[in-house]
């Protein structure tokens, strides 16, 4: 089989029209050769906004943060045209196929003037047989229609009126391209080709269909003792590019390799257009999620041979693992209990559906470094390529995979449901061999939106999730858990006491929200770091004249009016407890007020979720919460909402707060009527050692109380270590709680700093930091308590692209903090300053030899 990528495209704009006539095809050909007409596309894939940015027709919305200046683009039709030359002779018995892996959205495709395909689903690829019309010189046209023009023509059926169903829900388009929820107000509707276009041809060749991987537990007996073993089973389904010639003797072989050593193989004689090979492996090495073991992968090689040698070959990486759901959102992997800590993944960039490899790699890297073991591929997001799932396989990250439905009800017409079924089957069969895929989920908030908008009434589209998707998953991937919708599972869709919940407790009262079973979304909104805000909003708009920063009667908006165009979805209502922090009277203090309050919220709530029970239940061996996923890890536009990484991929204070809260072994204080210290162990080993606790007075600058005890925490255990009643009463607004756990060899395992009062009541000292270098690590010390040490680095004024192993941390005198500095820069100036201090310390980073 041979492949040829189609690249040399030119883009043309048209007023909306229907099918191309022969005359119009000829006109497009003439325009293609005219250098004064259209826009040459420098590489493919590129969507229309990207092409126009390249040619400086529009300003990059990623700079302005606005979609207003480019709304006209979605009102037009756009034509991609390309000359396609086939240099080798075209044999009569060859099969030729055109593949277009992704178009957004409504499009007609023409090959040499003949309409060969129609696209009406952004999530489905196109495959068209062009064997009868291919020549040495060909002309390809992709006519992308204006979806907004189509929406104007749509009439919502009477029975859907009054329901939560916007017009874009009637089409299989990228749902969030029609509002500003992810940024770019008032909207930015993507248009055009977002994935590869290629030709496939040959007399014979493997067309990869799918692979399924099963890992089965077997119970047997050996010498009268019960013994458990594992059977790994791989089922490979293939089809062939063209009809099999009767005289052609073809063999399909399948081999499974561990370090290039074949551990299982099989060969069959090909007798039909479709083939299936099953390989079985006794007790294979198992793939494991991060913090539970190594994510071991095998290489699967599928080869098509004839008497003359190899014709074609396909390679895939696969993994075996036993992943079971034992109870309500309670998962077990390879016999080990599994709690899921992570975040949701939004689209990489809301202005394009083209896969951005570097951004995806940074997100997965920051998830791993942030102690996450799970990412949710959100139902309002994009279809991601196989390479993304390969990356998560290799990293040991599990993926909660939604089907593509967002907050809306969806129509139940036969054609719409048929498209949804095709999408689901394509996704499941494409991805089911990836060990990183945790589960399939029918939709995002499609049932919950009924409860909010039409409580007690019919949920339009329910059959898509309950019948269609459930049946497809049962047929093609029966081992994986299927979840109806997120959230769902309780007496109402968002019931925290059963199934999963989306926690918006900043705006809603939710019974049982303190100890939910599983949080698939939890959020508080906050602006990004100062240097990102300055780049996004503009220095002159960061703090308008006469703005005081106060929330007063008649002005409940919590930040400057000039920030409002960069936020959406009433995010100003979804803030954390900023009233517990000092008022902001400049941009830096205002940003800290919001980020600091979210960091504080994370320390409290994630600690509560991870320990899973109240102080009064400290003797019980329970953990109510099985997982927590923050909304969201990344930001899809210059936008103020809840992304741990901003649009420029800079991590925030909440990112580092969550990173510390997600440490597999961690200490937490519970501060209520009593103060308790807890340890949570999500590793695979028992952890033993001693914990030292001190009560530090920030005015006296020394500990006023001290205690210690030994501990032993089993895997998957939340252990109440001790209460601090022996400290009796103490001045809350002067006191810091500090605990450090050390192993039996005296090595620090983890530490926690907290306080019992609100920050607004505390008067932190003006500390002085000292910086030094040790084994390529930055060493930080302080002469008095340092609240929220911020590390910032710059090289010739460039503050972006630096990476710190920790940041925005507290530090006590006598303790040492070591931080690894990585990123795009090899040299520069490192600035360190505690938030409440007037003193900044600077050191020089130079290349290490």
Convert the pLDDT of each residue in 795-838 to its tens digit.
999 999 999 999 999 999 999 999 999 988 889 999 999 999 99
Q: For the chain, what percent of residues have pLDDT higher than 90?
A: 79
pLDDT at 87: 80
**Residues 576, 611, 631, CA angle at the centre, nearest 5°?**
40
The sheet carrying 206-222 orders its strands as: 206-222, 225-240, 274-282
pLDDT band at 218 (very low <50, low <70, confident <90, very high): low
The pLDDT of residue 732 is 94
Q: Collect all residues with Cβ–Cβ distance below 8 Å to 12 and sequence separation of at least 6.
A: 28, 31, 37, 38, 39, 78, 79, 81
CATH 3.20.20.80 in the chain, residue ranges: 335-528+604-661
Instruction: Determine contact, residues 633/644, Cβ cutoff 8 Å.
Output: yes
* pLDDT over threshold 60, residue 588: yes
> Residue 610: in which H helix or E strand, if any?
helix 587-611
pLDDT band at 296 (very low <50, low <70, confident <90, very high): very high
Q: Choose among 335, 325, 522, 361: nearest CA to 438.
A: 325
At residue 129, the 3 state secondary structure works out as strand
- The Cα–Cα gap between 367 and 393 comes to 13
Please report, for residues 339, 667, 737, the alpha-carbon distance to residue 681 in angstroms, rounded to integers and kept in the order given: 10, 9, 21
Fold topology of 769-845: Immunoglobulin-like (2.60.40)
Tell me the pLDDT band of 220, cut-offs 50, 70 and 90.
Answer: low
Question: What's the pLDDT at 4?
Answer: 87
The yes or no reply on domain 335-528+604-661 and CATH 3.20.20.80 is yes
Residue 178 vs residue 311, higher pLDDT: 178
The pLDDT of residue 217 is above 90: no
Contacts of 309 (CB under 8 A, 6+ apart): none
Which letter does DSSP use for residue 160 in this model?
G
Q: Are 347 and 359 in contact (CB under 8 A)?
A: no
| Residue ranges, CATH 2.60.40.10, the chain | 206-318, 665-761, 769-845
Residue range 84-92: average pLDDT?
83
Total Cβ atoms within 10 A of residue 609: 26
Q: Give domain 665-761's CATH number out of 2.60.120.10, 2.60.40.10, 1.10.10.10, 3.10.310.70.
A: 2.60.40.10
pLDDT tens string 533-545: 999 999 999 999 9
CATH number attached to the domain at 2-202: 2.60.120.260
| Angstrom distance (rounded) from CA 11 to CA 685 | 59
Mean residue pLDDT of the chain comes to 92
DSSP 255-292: EEEETTEEEEEEEEE--SSEEEEEEEEESPPBB--TTT
Residue 233 pLDDT greater than 70, yes or no: yes
Which pLDDT does position 75 carry in this prediction?
A: 96
Q: What is the pLDDT of residue 78?
A: 97
Model confidence pLDDT, tens digit, residues 570-582: 999 999 999 999 9
In 406-524, where do the E strands start and end?
437-441, 481-483, 501-503, 518-522
Confidence bin at 849 (pLDDT 50/70/90): very low
Beta-strand relationship, 481-483 and 437-441: parallel
Band of pLDDT at residue 269, cut at 50, 70 and 90: confident
Q: How far apart are CA 611 and CA 613, in angstroms?
A: 6
One-character DSSP codes across 661-723: HT-SEEEEEEESSSEEEEEEE-SSS-EEEEEEEEEEETTTTEEEEEEEEEEEE-TTEEEEEEE
**Is it the case that residue 131 has pLDDT exceeding 50?**
yes
- The confidence score (pLDDT) of residue 834 equals 97
Domain 206-318 in CATH 3.40.50.620? The answer is no
At residue 350, does pLDDT exceed 80? yes
Q: What is the mean pLDDT of residues 482-487?
A: 98
**Residue 729, token pair as written in the block:** 């009463």
pLDDT at 243: 65
From-to residues of CATH 2.60.120.260 in the chain: 2-202
Q: How far is 840 from 341, CA to CA, in rounded Å? A: 35
- Which candidate, 83, 6, 101, 2, places its Cα nearest to that of 44? 6
The pTM of this model reads 0.95
Contact by Cβ (8 Å): 112, 132: no
| CA dihedral sign of residues 16, 18, 20, 23 | negative
pLDDT band, residue 221 (cuts 50/70/90): very low
Phi, psi (degrees; rounded to nearest 5) at 181: -55, -40
Total residues belonging to the chain: 849
pLDDT digits (tens, 9 = 90+) for 695-744: 999 999 999 999 999 999 999 999 999 999 999 999 999 999 999 999 99
829-to-78, 401, 672, 789 alpha-carbon distances in Å: 48, 42, 42, 16
Helices in 305-374 by DSSP H: which ranges? 357-369
Predicted pLDDT at 44:
96
- The residue-averaged pLDDT of 362-390 equals 97
- Give mean pLDDT, residues 294-318: 86
Amino acid 804: pLDDT: 96
Burial of 67: CB neighbours in 10 Å, binned 0-12, 13-18, 19+: buried
Q: Kindly indicate the confidence band of residue 506, based on its pLDDT and cuts at 50, 70 and 90.
A: confident
């Amino acid at each position: 089989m041979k492949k040829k990528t189609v690249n040399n495209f030119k883009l043309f704009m048209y007023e909306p029209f229907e099918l191309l006539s022969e005359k119009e095809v000829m006109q497009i050909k003439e325009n293609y050769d005219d250098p004064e007409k259209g826009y040459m596309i420098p590489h493919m894939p590129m969507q229309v906004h990207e092409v126009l940015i390249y040619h400086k027709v529009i300003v990059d919305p990623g700079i302005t943060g606005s979609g207003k200046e480019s709304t006209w683009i979605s009102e037009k039709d756009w034509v991609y045209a390309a000359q396609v030359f086939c240099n080798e002779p075209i044999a009569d018995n060859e099969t030729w196929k055109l593949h277009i892996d992704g178009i957004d959205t409504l499009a007609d495709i023409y090959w040499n003037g003949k309409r060969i395909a129609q696209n009406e689903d952004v999530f489905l690829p196109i495959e068209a047989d062009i064997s009868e019309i291919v020549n040495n010189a060909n002309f390809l046209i992709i006519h992308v229609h204006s979806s907004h023009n189509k929406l104007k023509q749509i009439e919502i059926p009477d029975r859907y009126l009054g329901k939560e169903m916007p017009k874009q829900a009637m089409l299989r388009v990228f749902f969030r391209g029609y509002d500003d929820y992810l940024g770019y107000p008032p909207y930015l509707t993507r248009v055009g080709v977002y994935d590869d276009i290629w030709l496939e041809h040959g007399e014979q060749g493997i067309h990869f269909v799918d692979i399924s991987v099963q890992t089965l537990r077997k119970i047997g007996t050996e010498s009268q003792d019960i013994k458990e073993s594992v059977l790994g089973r791989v089922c490979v389904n293939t089809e062939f590019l063209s009809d099999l010639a009767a005289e052609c003797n073809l063999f399909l072989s399948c081999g499974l390799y561990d370090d290039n050593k074949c551990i299982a193989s099989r060969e069959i004689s090909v007798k039909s257009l479709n083939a299936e090979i099953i390989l079985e492996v006794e007790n294979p090495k198992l793939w494991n999620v991060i913090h539970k073991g190594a994510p071991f992968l095998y290489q699967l090689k599928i080869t098509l041979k004839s008497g003359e040698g190899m014709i074609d070959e396909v390679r895939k990486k696969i993994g075996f693992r036993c992943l079971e759901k034992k109870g309500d959102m309670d998962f077990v992997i390879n016999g080990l209990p599994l709690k899921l800590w992570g975040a949701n993944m939004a689209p990489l960039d809301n202005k394009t559906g083209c896969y951005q490899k570097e951004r995806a790699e940074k997100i997965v890297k920051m998830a791993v470094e942030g102690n996450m073991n799970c990412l949710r591929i959100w139902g309002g997001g994009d279809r991601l390529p196989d390479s993304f799932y390969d990356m998560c396989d290799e990293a040991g990250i599990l993926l909660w995979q939604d089907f593509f439905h967002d907050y809306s009800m969806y129509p139940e017409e036969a054609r719409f449901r048929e498209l949804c079924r095709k999408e689901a089957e394509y996704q499941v069969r494409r991805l089911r061999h990836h060990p990183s895929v945790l589960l399939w989920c029918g939709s995002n908030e499609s049932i919950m939106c009924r409860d909010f908008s039409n409580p007690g009434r019919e949920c339009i589209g329910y059959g898509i999730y309950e019948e269609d998707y459930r049946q497809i998953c049962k047929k093609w991937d029966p081992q994986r858990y299927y979840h109806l919708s997120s959230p769902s599972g309780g007496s109402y869709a968002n019931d925290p006491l059963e199934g999963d919940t989306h926690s918006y407790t900043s705006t809603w009262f939710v019974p049982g929200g303190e100890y939910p079973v599983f949080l698939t979304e939890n959020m508080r909104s906050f602006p990004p770091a100062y240097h990102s805000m300055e780049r996004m909003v503009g220095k002159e708009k960061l703090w308008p004249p006469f703005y005081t920063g106060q929330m007063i009667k008649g002005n409940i908006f919590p930040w400057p009016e000039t920030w409002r165009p960069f936020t959406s979805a009433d995010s100003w209502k979804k803030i954390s407890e900023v009233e517990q922090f000092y008022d902001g009277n400049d941009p830096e203090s205002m940003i800290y007020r919001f980020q600091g309050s979210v960091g504080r919220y994370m320390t409290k709530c994630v600690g509560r979720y991870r320990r899973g029970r109240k102080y009064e239940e400290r003797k019980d061996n329970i953990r109510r919460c099985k997982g927590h996923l923050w909304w969201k890890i990344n930001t899809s536009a210059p936008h103020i909402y809840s992304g741990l990484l901003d649009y420029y991929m800079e991590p925030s204070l909440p990112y580092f707060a969550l990173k510390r809260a997600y440490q597999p072994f961690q200490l937490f204080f519970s501060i209520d009527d009593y103060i308790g210290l807890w340890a949570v162990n999500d590793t695979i080993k028992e952890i033993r050692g001693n914990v030292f606790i001190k009560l530090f007075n920030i005015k006296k600058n020394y500990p006023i109380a001290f205690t210690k005890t030994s501990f032993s925490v089993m895997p998957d255990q939340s252990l109440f270590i001790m209460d601090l009643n022996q400290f009796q009463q103490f001045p809350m607004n002067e006191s810091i709680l500090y605990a450090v756990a050390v192993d039996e060899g005296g090595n620090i395992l983890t530490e926690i700093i907290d306080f019992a009062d609100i920050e607004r009541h505390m008067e932190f000292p003006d500390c002085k930091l000292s910086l030094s270098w040790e084994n390529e690590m930055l060493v930080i010390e302080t002469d008095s308590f340092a609240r929220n040490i911020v590390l910032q680095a710059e090289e010739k004024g460039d503050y972006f692209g630096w990476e710190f192993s920790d940041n925005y941390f507290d530090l006590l005198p006598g303790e040492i903090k070591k931080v690894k500095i990585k990123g795009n820069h090899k040299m520069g100036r490192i600035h360190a300053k505690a938030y409440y201090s007037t003193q900044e310390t600077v050191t020089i980073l130079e290349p290490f030899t």
